[in-house]
Amino acid sequence: MASTRLGLLFLVAASTALAQLASTGLTVTLNDVYYFISPYSSATIHVPKASLDRVPDVFGFKPVTVIQDPVSQADISALLTNWTSLDDVYRPAFSEAIFHANSDAQHHDDAVTVSQILPGLTSTLLPLSHADVPSGPYFIHPSGALHRVYRLYDDFAAAFTEPLLPTPNGHFQPLSAKIPGSSTLSIGVPSRLYFTPTPQKPLAGVRIGVKDIYRLAGVKGSNGNRAWYHLYPASNTTGTAVQRLIDAGAQIVGLQKTSQFANGELATADWVDYHAPFNPRGDGYQDPSSSSAGAGASVASYAWLDLALGSDTGGSIRGPAGAQGLFGNRPSHGLVELDEVMPLAPELDTPGFLVRDVELWDRANSVLYGEKYSSLSQEKKVEWPGEVYTLGFPEDDTEDPADKMFVQFVRQLAKFVGGEVKPLDLDKEWAKTKPSEAGNVTLTQLLNTTYITIIGKQQTKLVRDPFYRDYEAAHLNRHPFIDPSPLLRWSYADTLPASALPTALAAKSLFQSWFNTHILPANANTNSNNTKTTCTPSILLYPASTPSYSLPRNLNLNLPPGGGLPFGFSESRISPFTGVPDSVFPLGEAGTGAVSAVTGVEEKLPVAVSVLVARGCDGVLVRLAREGVEGGWVVRPVVGGSGVRGGEVLMRRGVARMDWDM
Ligand SMILES: *[C@@H]1O[C@H](CO)[C@@H](O)[C@H](O)[C@H]1NC(C)=O
Ligand SMILES: *[C@@H]1O[C@H](CO)[C@@H](O)[C@H](O)[C@H]1NC(C)=O
Ligand SMILES: *[C@@H]1O[C@H](CO)[C@@H](O)[C@H](O)[C@H]1NC(C)=O
Ligand SMILES: *[C@@H]1O[C@H](CO)[C@@H](O)[C@H](O)[C@H]1NC(C)=O
Ligand SMILES: *[C@@H]1O[C@H](CO)[C@@H](O)[C@H](O)[C@H]1NC(C)=O
Q: What is the pLDDT of residues 168-217, one digit of tens each?
A: 999 999 999 999 888 899 999 999 999 999 999 999 999 999 999 999 99
**Closest ligand to 470 CA?**
2
Identify the CA nearest to 310 among candidates 251, 264, 339, 351: 351
Does 84 contact ligand 1 (Cβ within 6 A)? Answer: no
Give me the pLDDT at residue 167, please: 97
Distance 72 CA to ligand 1 centre (A): 13
Q: Sorting pLDDT into bands at 50, 70 and 90, what band is 6?
A: very low
Does 526 contact ligand 5 (Cβ within 6 A)? Answer: no
Give me the pLDDT at residue 36, please: 98
Distance 437 CA to ligand 3 centre (A): 14
Does 594 contact ligand 1 (Cβ within 6 A)? Answer: no
Bond into 29 cis (ω within 30): no
Closest-lying ligand 1 atom to the alpha carbon of residue 75: 13
Query: Does residue 103 carry a pLDDT above 70?
Result: no
Does 528 contact ligand 5 (Cβ within 6 A)? Answer: yes
Distance 503 CA to ligand 3 centre (A): 22
Distance 519 CA to ligand 3 centre (A): 24
Distance 135 CA to ligand 2 centre (A): 37
Distance 386 CA to ligand 5 centre (A): 14
Do residues 152 and 35 lie in contact, with contact meaning Cβ atoms separated by under 8 Å? yes
Q: Whose CA is nearest to atom 8 of ligand 2?
A: 233
Does 256 contact ligand 2 (Cβ within 6 A)? Answer: no
Q: Whose CA is nearest to atom 7 of ligand 5?
A: 529
Identify the CA nearest to 344 among candidates 462, 480, 428, 189: 462
In percent, how much of the chain has pLDDT > 90? 84
Does 529 contact ligand 5 (Cβ within 6 A)? Answer: yes
Distance between start and end Cα atoms, the chain: 65
Identify the CA nearest to 189 among candidates 146, 152, 235: 152
Query: Does residue 10 carry a pLDDT above 90?
Result: no
Query: Does residue 659 carry a pLDDT above 80?
Result: no
Distance 519 CA to ligand 5 centre (A): 25
Q: Whose CA is nearest to atom 14 of ligand 1?
A: 79
**Residue of 236, 237, 467, 470 to test ligand 2 pocket, by largest number of atoms within 8 Å of CB:** 236
Identify the CA nearest to 307 among candidates 375, 358, 377: 358
- Please name the residues in contact with 394: beta carbons below 8 A apart, sequence gap of 6 or more: 400, 403, 406, 407
Pairing verdict, β 420-423 and 387-390: parallel
d(CA 408, CA 410): 6
Do residues 531 and 381 lie in contact, with contact meaning Cβ atoms separated by under 8 Å? no
Identify the CA nearest to 446 among candidates 466, 472, 427: 427
Does 329 contact ligand 2 (Cβ within 6 A)? Answer: no
Q: Render pLDDT for 317-337 as a digit per residue (tens, 0 to 9).
A: 999 999 999 999 999 999 999
Identify the CA nearest to 537 among candidates 395, 378, 422: 422
Does 442 contact ligand 4 (Cβ within 6 A)? Answer: no
Query: Does residue 7 carry a pLDDT above 60?
Result: no
Does 85 contact ligand 5 (Cβ within 6 A)? Answer: no
Q: Whose CA is nearest to atom 13 of ligand 2?
A: 235
Mean of the pLDDT values across residues 115-143? Answer: 92
Beta strand ranges found along 407-510 (DSSP E): 420-423
Does 570 contact ligand 4 (Cβ within 6 A)? Answer: no
Give me the pLDDT at residue 559, please: 86
DSSP 272-330: -SSPPPPB-STTS-B---SSSHHHHHHHHH-TT--EEEEEESSSTTHHHHHHHT-EEEE
Which residue type occupies 494?
D
Count how many Cα atoms sit within 13 Å of the Cα of residue 356 in the half-sphere of its side chain.
22
Q: Which residue has the higher pLDDT, 107 or 344?
A: 344
Q: Whose CA is nearest to atom 3 of ligand 2?
A: 236
Give me the pLDDT at residue 662, please: 31
**Closest ligand to 383 CA?**
5
Does 173 contact ligand 4 (Cβ within 6 A)? Answer: no
Beta strand ranges found along 68-196 (DSSP E): 97-100, 113-118, 121-127, 136-140, 145-154, 160-166, 172-174, 186-190
The b-or-e profile of 584-616 (16+ CB within 10 A means b, else e) is: bbbbbbbebeeebebeeeebbbbbbbbbbbbbb
Identify the CA nearest to 147 among candidates 39, 46, 34: 39
Give me the pLDDT at residue 293, please: 98
Q: Which residue has the higher pLDDT, 52 or 661?
A: 52
Query: Does residue 533 carry a pLDDT above 60?
Result: no
Query: Does residue 660 carry a pLDDT above 50?
Result: no
Mean of the pLDDT values across residues 584-611? Answer: 95
Q: Render pLDDT for 17-36 as a digit per residue (tens, 0 to 9).
A: 688 999 999 999 999 999 99
Mean of the pLDDT values across residues 357-385? Answer: 93
d(CA 286, CA 257): 16
**Residue of 567, 569, 570, 573 to test ligand 4 pocket, by largest number of atoms within 8 Å of CB:** 567
Distance 232 CA to ligand 2 centre (A): 10
Does 530 contact ligand 5 (Cβ within 6 A)? Answer: no
Q: Whose CA is nearest to atom 3 of ligand 1?
A: 82
Phi/psi of residue 641, nearest 5 degrees: -65, -30
Which residue type occupies 418?
G
Query: Does residue 654 carry a pLDDT above 70?
Result: no
Does 71 contact ligand 1 (Cβ within 6 A)? Answer: yes
Query: Does residue 11 carry a pLDDT above 80?
Result: no
Which domains occur in the chain, in start order?
26-150 (no CATH), 156-170+192-376+646-661 (3.90.1300.10)
**Residue of 427, 449, 451, 452 to test ligand 4 pocket, by largest number of atoms within 8 Å of CB:** 449
Does 40 contact ligand 4 (Cβ within 6 A)? Answer: no
* Model pTM score: 0.92
Distance 503 CA to ligand 2 centre (A): 38
The b-or-e profile of 292-305 (16+ CB within 10 A means b, else e) is: bbbbbbbbbbbbbb
Do residues 621 and 583 lie in contact, with contact meaning Cβ atoms separated by under 8 Å? yes
Does 236 contact ligand 2 (Cβ within 6 A)? Answer: yes
Phi/psi of residue 270, nearest 5 degrees: -75, -20
Give me the pLDDT at residue 104, please: 58
Identify the CA nearest to 279 among candidates 632, 641, 562: 641
Give me the pLDDT at residue 454, please: 98
Query: Does residue 129 carry a pLDDT above 90?
Result: no
Q: Render pLDDT for 475-522 as a digit per residue (tens, 0 to 9).
A: 999 999 999 999 999 999 999 999 999 999 999 999 999 999 999 998
Do residues 164 and 172 lie in contact, with contact meaning Cβ atoms separated by under 8 Å? yes
Q: How many residues does the chain have?
A: 662
Does 400 contact ligand 1 (Cβ within 6 A)? Answer: no
In percent, how much of the chain has pLDDT > 70? 92
d(CA 31, CA 28): 10
Q: Sorting pLDDT into bands at 50, 70 and 90, what band is 15?
A: low
Distance 452 CA to ligand 4 centre (A): 11
Q: Whose CA is nearest to atom 8 of ligand 5?
A: 529
Pairing verdict, β 145-154 and 160-166: unpaired
Beta strands across the sheet bearing 172-174: 172-174, 160-166, 251-256, 207-211, 307-312, 350-355, 327-330, 582-591, 604-612, 538-545, 387-390, 420-423
List the single range of 4-13, 92-101, 620-629 with lowest mean pLDDT.
Answer: 4-13
Q: Whose CA is nearest to atom 5 of ligand 5?
A: 529
